[in-house]
Structure 1
Amino acid sequence: MTFNRPIFKKILLCACLATSLGTFAAEHTVNTKYGNVKVNDDVKRIVTLSEDALDSAIALGFKPLAAVATRGGDSVAEYIQERVEGISIVGTSRQNNLEAIAAQRPDLILASASLSKDQYSILSKIAPTIVPNSPGMVADAWITLAQVYADALNKTEEMNVILADIEKRASNLKDKIATKLPEAERSATLARWMPQGPVVMSSQIFSTDMLASVGFEINDAGVIKEGRPHSSPLSLENLSKVDSDWLFLATLNTEGKDALDAAKTSPSFSRLNVVKNDHVVTVNGQLWTSAAGPLAAHAILDNIQTVIDTKIK
């Protein structure tokens, strides 16, 4: 976290004065990782410091003033860019820019569940800061986080409707897959191709949750350490570990795409059964391996619908 201390103190004073003007507005209390936080019922100036917080806020009809950049990029994820044209970038998933955050004069900060106590102590002086209790890497963790952000935005009922719609849509796609694809042909691996090689993504992250919700059986090849979102890079000689019935392949940037293109010319890649069966699905790495939230869920379900329409006979 970077900041110029004298300038930051001035910005912080302005932020505190702005916050004090809303002291007498109606409030509600949100339970968070660092205790109960009082939030105005009608917030206007929102800063989001995680990709799932941004997604949830937009899904609920808000346009945050600022957000952090997606992994492998210098702006928000591509799937959501059109909805937040002109949004300010105030950090990355690993580092927040305090000056930039305070300069937005927010009346609410929606932070990542991994935000440290030290960072929270500073950010909470700028505006009420919501840090969800992390459910850890478990199925549907993204839903728990979305509900906390909705509570902070005083939109719990609206989020429940949104989540129910996603569940219904996933159920409909699951029925289609069950009809068209035999159970023995539904194993799937999600891998992100890096310049160093492919990393296998965990069966307990957001996007593999979505794949499982429509009936795919997630195969993480047993190469991921407990509690980690992905494996170490695999060598081309070990590509057989991702030879499931279906392989969803993601890249984050140009370097990853170039490495994948090179790998596709190798015998190790072409001899995979999933390649021979034309069951390799190229997906956006920002969406599939970094994002989370209701809008991301619909975007991934869109991709799965395309697979059903074009690749499942």
Structure 2
Amino acid sequence: MLSKVLRHGLTGVLLSSLIANAQARELDTAFGAVEVPDSPERVVALYEGALDAAVAAGVTPIGAIATRGGNDVAAYMSEHIDTGELEMVGVARETNIEAVLRLQPDLILAAPQLPEEQYRLLSRIAPTVVPDSNGLSRDGWKEESRVYGQALGKEADIDDALEQIEQRAAEINERLKSANVGGTAYLARWMPAGPMVMSSKLFSTGILASTGLEVNDDGLVNEGSAHSDILSLENLSLIDGDWLFLATLNEEGQQALDAAKQSSAFTRLNVVEQNHVVPVNGQVWSSASGPLAAQVILNDIEEALLP
């Protein structure tokens, strides 16, 4: 009798395993093949680009990390989901593993830069997807979004979102040409200690370039780095192009920028005299990535250059 019970129990376990395997899919990631559930219901996003892609695909994660310079996710996300329902489980490059464990996720979407040690810990909690990235590139975010879309079983939704970005960027490009608006552009993030020039190989500068502007960092950014060292006010002339997009992450950065605007080093810049300085949200322009953030950037470009 006992052996019969054991036999039935083992059969049940095997059947459950077969069903689970049938519902799982295998995904190529930075750390090899990972089996992900067919329809994940409890998703944790440990990267701003992962959160953006998930929401763009119609999936609301249960946990996320705070944006740079903030205690919550970037404000633009509140236009798409109730951010108050998201459990904060860390900040960029510092995940609270215990907080992730408490959420009992069935899928974790992580950043391309995730250290292997953290990956090993997270993958013991749930299948962890880390896109295989080769460093900074203007279009790398698109492939990352596609990987997250595949992990969520939402490939078509991500493809549609990316196509909308490309079509809108091309449309703005044509409108700028017709309006004879263009030239060189720089993106700088203003910190309390001063401005940093952002790399021309970033997500945001790539979106900016897709509208036809010539985006530069003029060799001020070291290879593989996202931004330059902090510039002195006297060296602001190095980024005196046709357009200057100025990002701040928080109130401290904004206060420092407001003070800098009172200095002659700032006011004598040609781009300032031409009224071609465009203030933008650093949480989007210098921290976020993904289809939804791309739409915000395109909105900013359109409103500033095609009023």
TM-score (norm 2): 0.92
Write the mapping of 1:35-184 to structure 2, written as runs, cut at 5 A: 35-82=32-79, 83-85=81-83, 86-181=85-180
Give the one of 226, 229, 241 matched to 1:229: 226
Aligned to 1:290: 287
| Aligned partners of 2:137 and 2:203 also within 8 Å | no
Q: Which moved more, 1:297-306 or 1:153-162?
A: 153-162
- What does residue 296 of structure 2 align with? 299
Gapped regions of structure 1 (runs ≥ 5): 1-19
1:254 counterpart = 2:245: no
Q: Where does residue 3 of structure 2 map in the other structure?
A: none
Identity percentage of aligned residues: 50
Aligned-pair distance for 1:307? 1.4
Matched, 1:23 2:23: no
Q: Is the contact between residue 211 and residue 218 of structure 1 (CA under 8 Å) also seen in structure 2? A: yes
Instruction: Note the residue ranges of structure 2 that are not aligned, 5 or more in a row.
Output: 1-16
After TM superposition, the structure 1 stretch with the greater mean CA deviation from structure 2, 33-42 or 157-166, is: 157-166
**1:98 is aligned with what amino acid?**
I
Amino acid in structure 1 at the alignment position of 2:215: I
SS in 1 for 2:66: coil
Shift in Å, 1:23 = 3.3
> Residue 52 of structure 1: CA displacement?
0.1
2:285 and 2:136 mapped to 1: Cα distance?
16
Tell me the distance in 1 between the aligned counterparts of 2:256 and 2:242: 23
Write out the 4+ residue segments of structure 1 that deviate beyond 3 Å after TM superposition: 22-25
Q: 1:243-292: CA deviations, max 9, x gaps?
A: 01000000001111111000000000000000000000000000000000
Residue 24 of structure 1 and its aligned partner are, at CA, apart by 5.2
Deviation per residue, 1:125-183 (Å, 9 max, x gap): 1000001101311220100100110110111122111111110011000000111125x
Query: Which residue is 1:210 aligned to?
Result: 207
- 8 Å contact from structure 2 (residues 93, 114) kept in 1: no
**Are the aligned partners of 2:249 and 2:282 in contact in 1 as well (CA < 8 Å)?**
yes
CA contact (8 A) 1:27 1:41 kept: yes
* Separation in 2, partners of 1:96, 1:23: 29
Deviation at 1:221, TM superposition (A): 2.7
Q: 1:16 maps to which residue?
A: none
Instruction: State the partner residue of 1:17.
Output: none
Separation in 1, partners of 2:249, 2:103: 29
State whether residues 135 and 144 of structure 1, in contact with CA within 8 Å, keep that contact through their aligned partners in structure 2.
no
CA deviation map 1:180-219 (0-9, x unaligned): 125xx41000000011110000000000000000001012
Determine helix, strand or coil for the equivalent of 2:227: coil
Give the letter for the 1:242 counterpart.
I
Match of 1:32 among 10, 17, 29: 29
Contact 1:207 1:300 in 2 (8 A): yes
Aligned to 2:8: none
- CA distances 1:24-59 after superposition (whole Å, capped 9, x unpaired): 561111100001001111110000000000000000
Equivalent residue in structure 2 for 1:243, among 234, 240, 243? 240
Give the Cα separation in 2 of the matches to 1:294 and 1:135.
20
Q: 2:198 aligns with which of 183, 198, 201?
A: 201
Question: How far off is 1:242 after superposition?
Answer: 1.2
- SS of aligned partner of 2:278: strand
- For this pair of structures, how many residues does the alignment match? 290
SS of the residue corresponding to residue 219 of structure 2 reads coil
For residues 35 and 62 of structure 1, what CA distance do their matches in structure 2 show?
24
Measured in 2, the distance between the counterparts of 1:73 and 1:29 equals 35
What RMSD over aligned residues (CA atoms) do the two structures have, in Å? 1.6
What's the TM-score, normalizing by structure 1?
0.90
Q: Do 2:108 and 2:129's aligned partners in 1 also have CA atoms closer than 8 Å?
A: yes
